[in-house]
């Protein structure tokens, strides 16, 4: 189909042009509570998400895995508060 009349035919991908996936992200910095680290995450609804943690940005281990839920919002508490500083990342499947 020549949509801009330049005599070059191109394919229209239609519905495949739009990607509604929202990668998971933290809505604020992790909050250090007396007994845990509290994380607030937003992302695509009903997607499986892994939250991983590291104290040195080299060695990552799973902290939590679960569904984001219909609203795409999740609060996660990491019960290991032994470290004074911790790095987190969220990964969707």
23-41: per-residue pLDDT in tens? 889 998 888 888 888 999 9
What's this model's pTM, rounded to 2 decimal places?
Answer: 0.69
Q: Give every residue of the chain whose pLDDT is below 70, as ranges.
A: 1-3, 11-21
Burial 12-35 (b: 16+ CB within 10 A, else e): eeeeeeeeeeeebebeeebeeeee
Query: What pLDDT was estimated at residue 93?
Result: 80
């Amino acid at each position: 189909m020549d949509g801009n009349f330049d005599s070059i035919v191109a394919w229209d991908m239609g519905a495949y042009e739009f990607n509604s996936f929202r990668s998971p992200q933290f809505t604020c910095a992790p909050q250090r509570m007396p007994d845990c680290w509290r994380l607030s995450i937003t992302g695509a609804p009903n997607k499986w998400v892994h939250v991983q943690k590291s104290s040195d940005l080299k060695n990552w281990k799973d902290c939590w895995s679960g569904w984001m839920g219909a609203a795409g919002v999740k609060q996660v508490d990491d019960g290991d508060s032994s470290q004074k500083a911790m790095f987190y990342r969220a990964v969707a499947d």
